[in-house]
Chain A
Amino acid sequence: GAVVSQHPSWVICKSGTSVKIECRSLDFQATTMFWYRQFPKQSLMLMATSNEGSKATYEQGVEKDKFLINHASLTLSTLTVTSAHPEDSSFYICSARVREGLSNEQFFGPGTRLTVL
């Protein structure tokens, strides 16, 4: 199956700094990428939907100025957590969707664990 990678797999940062997380589709072009967040022992929650070449669509309650999403190419989307605070510590997961004909498959990245001190 198709592969989605995330980098870094984990990051520890100081409060107030910004952290960038990359999501790449390695062997296919993704017209849409999704960013999720997961708090301990909870389900994944959709944060935003990112379409290549256009602005991301954020879910209710997600601050677009805090979680900057850039989808500059069909294989790369980035999530930047700006001025991170301890409450932003979470597991961030991306997924990538490919649309080819009737195919509408979606593939998940392994996730990035962010710890803000």
Chain B
Amino acid sequence: KNEVEQSPQNLTAQEGEFITINCSYSVGISALHWLQQHPGGGIVSLFMLSSGKKKHGRLIATINIQEKHSSLHITASHPRDSAVYICAVGNEMGRDDKIIFGKGTRLHILP
């Protein structure tokens, strides 16, 4: 079992739909990252959080430390949101704090 699991692996939705991507992890973490990777490859850091909830525009990220689970929500989705969304956790390993990446969720928003 991977230490970071994302679901779904692939998601196709219509423009305007509310999108939820889930991330579960099995290790102790210092922080959780949500990254966006567009087809050209460029990576954008969306959120880094260690508790609670963060919001930026149409994006919302939540984390439940007790349940070791995080969700990324996109409201009023748009075709330009089509990308791969990657969940990554900073592993609590003393000072090393290596990042463990999920395999990503490929999101396709249809116009």
Scan residues 45-100 of chain B and give those whose CB is less than 8 A from a CB of chain A.
45, 48, 86, 88, 90, 96-99
Q: Whole-angstrom distance between the alpha carbons of A43 and B48 in the complex? A: 18
Are the C-beta atoms of A111 and B43 separated by less than 8 Å? yes
Which of B31, B99, B102, B104 makes the CB contact (< 8 A) with A34? B99
Chain A residues with CB under 8 A of B99: 34, 44, 46, 95, 106
Number of interface residues of A (CB under 8 A): 21
Q: Whole-angstrom distance between the alpha carbons of A1 and B35 in the complex? A: 14
Are the C-beta atoms of A106 and B90 separated by less than 8 Å? yes
Report if B108 contacts A (CB, 8 A).
no
Which range holds the interface residue count of chain B? Answer: 20 to 34
The B interface is mostly helix, strand or loop, or mixed, namely strand
Report if B41 contacts A (CB, 8 A).
yes
Report if A97 contacts B (CB, 8 A).
yes
Q: Closest CB-CB distance, A79 to chain B, in whole Å?
A: 16
Which of B42, B48, B104 makes the CB contact (< 8 A) with A110? B42
Q: Whole-angstrom distance between the alpha carbons of A97 and B30 in the complex? A: 13
Report if A93-B48 is in contact (Cβ < 8 Å); known contacts: A43-B103, A104-B30, A108-B35.
no
Chain B residues with CB under 8 A of A34: 99
Q: Closest CB-CB distance, A104 to chain B, in whole Å?
A: 6
Are the C-beta atoms of A43 and B101 separated by less than 8 Å? yes
Task: Scan A10-51; emit 1 where CB is below 8 A from any B CB, else 0.
Answer: 000000000000000000000000100010000110100100
User: Top 7 A-B pairs ranked by shortest CB distance?
Assistant: A110-B42, A43-B101, A91-B41, A108-B45, A44-B101, A111-B43, A108-B43
